[in-house]
Amino acid sequence: MTNLTESAELSADRETRWAFAMEGNRDGVWDWNVVTSEVFFSRRWKQMLGFGEHEISNDLSEWDKRVHPDDREAVYADLNAHLSGGSPFYHNEHRVQCKDGSYLWICDRGKVMSWTEAGEPLRVVGTHTDITARKQVELENERLMRELQEAVDNARVLRGLLPICAGCKKIRDDDGYWNRIEAFIASHTGADFTHSICPECVEIYYPSSGQPAAE
């Protein structure tokens, strides 16, 4: 019995040291009893979302109800995959709502630490890491890449065969309408036009006298 007690105490000490190490690393810690749905949320976990020590209960719903609706399906797919033995760890990046209504991007990681006698997951321990700054950079890069791709796609339109009137030089679009060349190019690229006059046209329309040519 003494050996069992000492073993339990050593295990508790190791877990306490691990929790403190994670707190010092600015990660939030969670410890979930799958059977009872009770969850220990560390002080840092609560602070990360703007809550005080006693503003969050020890129930799984405290996390569940704050996961962004658009992320829930992927979150539970990854979590259930781990609980069923399909992956060695649980890992998902998703948005979690803060006390003020805003969202943080969280890297959520965990692992089953113990099982019931029937072989079902009993205890899962993991961490929350705030990755909002990194995700904002990634999302901005994705936006810029989309804009670049759109610009490239638009530019490609002008590489094909363009029906152009031999007389007035209007271009026929895909809908069969004839457009002035400036309007067509402006609608298919990001180019803007300014108007000037070339030397040849100056001689035609404004001869050396400086007056428009007579018709």
Domains of the chain (ranges; CATH) run 2-132 (3.30.450.20), 157-215 (no CATH)
pTM: 0.64
Query: What does the pLDDT read at residue 214?
Result: 44
Decide: 14 and 34 in contact? Cβ < 8 Å.
no
User: Which tokens go with 109?
Assistant: 């990681």
As a whole number, mean pLDDT of residues 148-176 equals 73
Residue 184 or residue 22, greater confidence: 184
Decide: 46 and 52 in contact? Cβ < 8 Å.
yes
Decide: 96 and 104 in contact? Cβ < 8 Å.
yes
Indicate the DSSP class of residue 59.
Answer: B
Distances (CA, A) of 175 to 21, 130, 163, 181: 65, 50, 12, 15
Could you tell me whether strands 178-179 and 90-97 are parallel, antiparallel, or unpaired per DSSP bridges?
unpaired
Q: Is the pLDDT of residue 72 over 80?
A: yes
pLDDT in tens, 113-133: 999 999 999 999 999 999 999
Residue 211 or residue 89, greater confidence: 89
Q: Is the pLDDT of residue 57 over 90?
A: yes
DSSP 9-28: HHHHHHHHHHHHHHHHTT-E
Q: Is the pLDDT of residue 63 over 90?
A: yes
Angstrom distance (rounded) from CA 189 to CA 158: 9
Query: What does the pLDDT read at residue 20?
Result: 53
Helix, strand counts (H, E) of the chain: 7, 7
213 — pLDDT class (breaks 50, 70, 90): very low
**Which among 129, 96, 128, 125 is positioned nearest to 34, based on CA atoms?**
125
Query: What does the pLDDT read at residue 21?
Result: 55
